[in-house]
Amino acid sequence: MNRIKNNQAFTLIELLVVIAIIGVLVGLLLPAVQQAREAARRASCTNNLKQIGLGMHNFASARKERFPPGRVKHSNFKTVGWSSFFLDFMEQNQLAATWQYVSSADAQAAAPDSRLYLDANFTSKINEKATHTKIPMYLCPSTSREEPTRSNGFIIEPGQYEGMACSDYFGNAGPNHNEPQFLKPDGSRYEEHSGVLLRKNAANLDGGTRFAAITDGLSNTVVVCEITGSGLRGGTNNSAKGVWASGLNCSEIGHNNSTPPIINPADPLEDVWRETNQPLFSDHPSGASVLSCDGSVHFLNESIDKNIVTGLLSKNCSEVVSFD
């Protein structure tokens, strides 16, 4: 007796239904995967800032409770920035700043090591090994938008800064003291240098802000903030704001006009990077991370009131604000 064989194949309609179901599941899972990846990147960024805070506090302990200066300028050399001065406390001894004497001839020769020689211009040949070394803790893993002069964390614009490594973290020099929209509780404008990492030249590493000068409280004052993607401001070759060794990587915070928000303004992005005084900026969704003077890290949402932000940026203006 012949047996009738059953056809077990899918029909075209069944196959299309399965494909549609798979497509729906992928569409549901993809945002969750992206959110998980961003959560991991944000956690890594938070850890970067915590390591910076730990390095700063170790530096301060060795210098009678003084933060590193925002910038140091020796003779007529270009300024070197705050992020150069505590690398030996961040397991980056090979890049540690040194005051070892450097002659004019030595400054034009290749360095015997990768230390940053403060007695020479940071654009000198002797500092090339240091300034061209990328420091992972100075780069936010969420950064996806970079100034056109920068790519993958390096300056690509031809000229004296080409090949230098960048930083996504800026020193807080205080609220923009020129902009009348940012006012202290008594209605007066903020003074210049009301932040912690100041935009003025110190003679040596002992010229930073004392803990005692931060009368608003270490836990209520920002010392470092995210301004990611920075390179050479506005495409010019004389403003290395985004270079980690540069003294220009501390900034007053807040646009020079009242229109854009103080955190994550919308495009055009060139306006974010070009200004002398900048907004907080990151590629994290809905806000940016900051490091407070007590070493804790906080996330400031884009919707936070600008007066709270400026209050957290100033060190001694008696604003009643907190991160909570």
Of 152, 158, 199, whose CA–CA distance to 313 is shortest?
199
pTM as predicted: 0.87
Q: Checking DSSP bridges between strand 169-175 and strand 250-253, what pairing results, if any?
A: parallel
pLDDT tops 90 at residue 323: no
If you average pLDDT over each of 22-36, 39-53, 63-77, 173-187, which comes out highest? 39-53
* pLDDT per residue as tens digits for the range 54-63: 999 999 999 9
Taking every pair of Cα atoms in the chain, the longest distance, rounded to a whole number of angstroms, is 106
For a pLDDT cut of 90, what percent of the chain falls above it?
54
The predicted model gives 165-193 an average pLDDT of 91
* pLDDT per residue as tens digits for the range 276-290: 788 999 999 999 999
In whole angstroms, give the CA distance from residue 288 to residue 282.
5
Residue 182 has a pLDDT of: 87
Residue 204 has a pLDDT of: 86
Q: Could you tell me the residue ranges of all domains in the chain?
A: 45-313
The predicted model gives 251-271 an average pLDDT of 78
Number of continuous H segments (helices) and E segments (strands) in the chain: 5, 12
For a pLDDT cut of 70, what percent of the chain falls above it?
89
Say if residues 250 and 82 touch (Cβ distance below 8 Å).
yes
pLDDT tops 70 at residue 30: no
Q: Tokens 């240098």 — which residue? A: 193
Residue 312 has a pLDDT of: 96
In whole angstroms, give the CA distance from residue 167 to residue 139.
5
Residue 143 has a pLDDT of: 95
- More confident: 12 or 167: 167
Give the number of C-alpha atoms closer than 13 A to the C-alpha of residue 129, restricted to the C-beta side.
16
Per-chain mean pLDDT for the chain: 87
**Range of weakest confidence among 19-23, 72-76, 160-164:** 72-76
* pLDDT per residue as tens digits for the range 93-125: 899 989 888 888 888 998 889 999 988 888 899
Of 281, 170, 174, 278, whose CA–CA distance to 224 is shortest?
170
Q: Checking DSSP bridges between strand 116-117 and strand 150-151, what pairing results, if any?
A: unpaired
What is the pLDDT confidence band of residue 68, given thresholds at 50, 70 and 90? Answer: very high
pLDDT tops 70 at residue 22: yes
In whole angstroms, give the CA distance from residue 114 to residue 156.
21
Residue 271 has a pLDDT of: 65
Say if residues 153 and 165 touch (Cβ distance below 8 Å).
yes
Residue 99 has a pLDDT of: 87
Of 324, 277, 316, 323, whose CA–CA distance to 184 is shortest?
316
Residue 13 has a pLDDT of: 74
* pLDDT per residue as tens digits for the range 139-149: 999 999 999 99
- More confident: 258 or 89: 89
Say whether 306 sits in a helix, a strand or coil.
helix
In whole angstroms, give the CA distance from residue 230 to residue 240.
9
pLDDT tops 80 at residue 75: no
Sign, CA dihedral 210-214-217-219, equals negative
- Both tokens of 311, joined, read 């209050």
136-164 as b/e: b if 16+ CB within 10 A: ebbbbbbbeebbebbeebbbbbeeebeeb
For residue 179, the surrounding DSSP H or E stretch is none
- More confident: 73 or 264: 264
The predicted model gives 81-89 an average pLDDT of 94
Other beta carbons within 10 Å of 182: 26
In whole angstroms, give the CA distance from residue 71 to residue 79.
6
Residue 6 has a pLDDT of: 56
Q: Return phi, psi of residue 43, to 5°.
A: -65, -40
